């Protein structure tokens, strides 16, 4: 284990850090701070730091009343990939999803993020869906743990 510190994004400064990671990793789906604040009301948003250096973020979308699947998304800034941080973020998100009652775990990965796709597949996720968002030309993958 590293000295990675993962905390719930519960202040504007931490929400801005979550927003920075999201917008850098997913530049076709840039979110405003107000949109991030709204997401924080529905989802568990966490940020990860190595000391005071921002490393990544997670999103855990809880199961809905009509589905048992939770979505766990771990994002690591490019300069910090390949150091085990994604695994730590993913493990925390997985624990949170299970505490929320999820019996099925999914993730979503943008096809332009081959590191994220390799990470998900390396952790046992398999593709169950592929789709395009309006205006996008690069697909998204929905992957599920079997």
What is the number of domains present in the chain?
1
Question: Is the pLDDT at 60 greater than 90, yes or no?
Answer: yes
Provide the Cα torsion 119, 36, 129, 126; round to 10°. Answer: 20
Strands (E), the chain: 4-8, 44-50, 53-61, 69-76, 104-110, 126-131, 140-144
- Cα gap 98→31, rounded to integer Å: 27
pLDDT in tens, 19-42: 999 999 988 889 999 999 999 999
Range of the domain at 85: 4-144
C-alpha of 78 from chain center: 14
Tokens standing for 137? 């030309």
Give me the CATH number covering residue 61: 3.40.630.30
- Using pLDDT thresholds of 50, 70 and 90, give the confidence band for residue 43: very high
């Amino acid at each position: 284990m590293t000295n990675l510190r993962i905390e719930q994004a519960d202040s504007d400064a931490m929400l801005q850090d979550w927003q920075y990671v999201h917008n850098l990793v997913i530049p076709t789906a840039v979110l405003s701070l107000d949109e991030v604040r709204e997401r924080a009301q529905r989802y568990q948003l966490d940020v990860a730091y190595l000391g005071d250096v921002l490393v990544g973020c997670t999103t855990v979308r809880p199961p809905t009343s009509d589905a048992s699947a939770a979505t766990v998304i771990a994002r690591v800034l490019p300069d910090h990939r390949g150091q085990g941080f994604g695994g730590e973020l993913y493990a925390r998100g997985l624990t949170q999803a299970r505490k929320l009652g999820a019996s099925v775990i999914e993730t979503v990965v943008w096809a332009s993020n081959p590191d994220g796709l390799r990470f998900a597949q390396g952790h046992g996720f398999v593709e169950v869906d592929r789709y395009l968002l309006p205006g996008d030309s690069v697909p998204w993958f929905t992957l599920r743990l079997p």
